[in-house]
Structure 1
Amino acid sequence: MPELVYPPVIALARTMFTLLDMRVRVEGGEHVPRTGGAVIACNHISYLDFIFCGFGARPSKRLVRFMAKQEIFAHPVGGPLMRGMKHIPVDREAGIGSYKAALAALKAGEVVGIFPEATISQSFTVKEIKNGAVRLAAAAEVPLIPMALWGTQRMWTKGRPRTLTKRNLPISVLIGEPMRPARRDKSDEVTAALRARMAGLLDRAQTEYPEKPEAPGDDWWLPAHLGGGAPLPDEVE
């Protein structure tokens, strides 16, 4: 089937990057395979993360099919776009259907994107993650690729006003080496290893980020362990 929706959406995103002079750094794009199925497991700090997670796969010329909550597909505008880009709805009341759809996509050679934290991390650290990404990669016998985003929370995150027109904003997209989970592996152990890799990538993205808060009240986008104003993980819980 021809891709009629995804390419124009990508073109629109790239235009936005250009108009805002965004500094998007992608490192490790070669880890996304150019052919065949793969699972990308990415941290979640912004409502726009799917744009930048997908952008991380562009060096390999891959389109990412994201697993996203069913409510987005019910939206009169978002729904047709999501279906046109062949994303996968997640019905939390009937999760087995979503799992089977993602598994079928992987076996058909698609790259499936998952945010295993399930919700946005307001502490800007990697929360406890669910094991669905590991289970899917093992069942489909495809690589599991850890990814970390940083800077996207400064545009639009939970509990903060949108700042979609901020210029010269640095965005970091770091992609780690693929993992190869097998059916015989214990999913909880592999999930813990995946979380550690995602956290390591995020730590490096935060350490290497080229900007610091401009004023005391501007430190909300930094995690508490780096001296920022974001809440600690247990405070969010």
Structure 2
Amino acid sequence: MEYRIAAGQFQVPADLEEFPLHPTESKERFYQWVIGRLKGLLRLQKVQVTCYGAEHIPAESGAIIAMNHTGYYDFMFGEVAPHIRGKRLLRFMAKREVFDVPVLGNIMNSMWHIPVDRSAGGSSVDAAVERIYRGQLVGIFPEATISRSFELANFKNGAARIAQQADAPLIPMVTWGSQRFWTKGREKELGRNGYPVIIRLGEPVDTTGTSDEVIARLKAAMQVLLDDVRAEYNERFGPFEPGMDWMPASMGGTAPTLEEADDINRRVKAEKIEKKKAKEARKINRRADRALKKDVT
């Protein structure tokens, strides 16, 4: 296949049309400035990104883009296709705790990302639907967390509920190669390594039926895309030696299987809960000590 460079940096099929700039999103100064800095980071690391399917993103109207999640760089790579599509912007759904972090929270709000309160998921769905009504693109990771196996893990049905309530396109997208930079369970590789990344978007998924039926179709569509990009990645940039820790077990790598990853996640979650309980207990003990000292004096 022949390629050309789009958005000044990314490989796309040579026959992909040139897209006009989005009338408002292309002029959002702060978010576009952030995109420029992220592109600079990818250039610094000599990352070669190939993107297919940007034409599936609406030119101006809202949609929800569902992405697989294998690494922390996925947020950057999720911006590539919308950027190619006329400098459109993606508003990510992210856990509320991120928005509570000083400075970072202000940045997230400035870019109109959407906080997700896991104890009140319905409000997050309503917020996403409202954004889509306003013509924005909403990005979601149906797996809700990084997949340590680098396979598609269990999907939540939020993406389906949002697409159905907003009557909006539900666009599947997969990224492969992101896990080589920074992910759970392996060392970071953030130098000038030149690792390639492939991104592929598919046609919108049929959103008729129950939310569970829609999610099943979404996952099936994303699995087809994932199989395609993995095969292309190995053909263009391999062969890769067996036993690589960024490769899934099904492809000869040493990443945990889906079942092993679930066990790790349960153990990590339990440890976090115990640490939180211990922290709360220490706070209570400190308060009790201070109260006792006041009584003594």
**TM-score bracket for the superposition, by shorter chain length:** over 0.9
Please name the residue that 2:232 is paired with: 208
Please name the residue that 2:31 is paired with: 6
SS in 1 for 2:259: helix
Q: Which amino acid aligns with 1:204?
A: D
SS in 1 for 2:228: helix
Show CA shifts across 1:184-221 (max 9, x none): x111111101001111111111111133476555x011
- 1:15 aligned to 2:40? yes
Structure 1 162/77 Cα, relative in aligned 2: closer, same or farther at 3 Å? farther
Please name the residue that 1:181 is paired with: 207
How far 1:60 moved relative to its partner?
A: 1.3
The answer to whether the 8 Å contact 2:182/2:189 transfers is yes
Partner Cα distance (2:184, 2:113) in 1: 22
Please name the residue that 1:100 is paired with: 126
The answer to whether the 8 Å contact 2:205/2:217 transfers is no
How far 1:52 moved relative to its partner?
A: 0.4
User: Which one of the candidate residues 184, 194, 197 is aligned to 2:221?
Assistant: 197
Please name the residue that 1:161 is paired with: 187
Q: Which runs of 5+ in 2 are unaligned?
A: 1-23, 263-297
Number of positions where the alignment pairs a residue of Structure 1 with one of Structure 2: 234
Q: Which amino acid aligns with 1:29?
A: A
Q: Which amino acid aligns with 1:198?
A: M
Please name the residue that 2:146 is paired with: 120
- Superposed counterparts of 1:34-183, under 5 Å: 34-61=59-86, 62-182=88-208
Please name the residue that 2:49 is paired with: 24
- 1:236 aligned to 2:264? no
SS in 2 for 1:76: coil
The CA RMSD measured in Å over matched residues stands at: 1.6
Q: Which amino acid aligns with 2:30?
A: V
Q: Which amino acid aligns with 1:89?
A: P
SS in 2 for 1:220: coil
Partner Cα distance (1:144, 1:232) in 2: 28
Show CA shifts across 1:151-177 (max 9, x none): 000000012222112422101111011
Q: Which amino acid aligns with 2:82?
A: A
Q: Which amino acid aligns with 1:193?
A: R
Partner Cα distance (1:180, 1:236) in 2: 30
Q: Which amino acid aligns with 1:173?
A: I
The answer to whether the 8 Å contact 1:5/1:81 transfers is no
The answer to whether the 8 Å contact 1:106/1:112 transfers is yes
How far 1:16 moved relative to its partner?
A: 1.4
The answer to whether the 8 Å contact 2:200/2:229 transfers is yes
How far 1:12 moved relative to its partner?
A: 0.4
TM-score, scaled relative to structure 2: 0.75
TM-score, scaled relative to structure 1: 0.94
Q: Which amino acid aligns with 1:186?
A: T
Partner Cα distance (2:229, 2:102) in 1: 36
SS in 2 for 1:57: helix
The answer to whether the 8 Å contact 2:206/2:214 transfers is no
SS in 1 for 2:194: coil
The answer to whether the 8 Å contact 2:63/2:138 transfers is yes
Q: Which amino acid aligns with 1:60?
A: R
Partner Cα distance (1:213, 1:166) in 2: 21
Partner Cα distance (1:82, 1:96) in 2: 20
Partner Cα distance (2:103, 2:251) in 1: 39
Structure 1 180/108 Cα, relative in aligned 2: closer, same or farther at 3 Å? farther
Partner Cα distance (2:89, 2:41) in 1: 19
The answer to whether the 8 Å contact 2:50/2:199 transfers is yes
The answer to whether the 8 Å contact 1:123/1:223 transfers is yes
**Larger Cα Rg: Structure 1 or Structure 2?**
2
SS in 1 for 2:256: coil
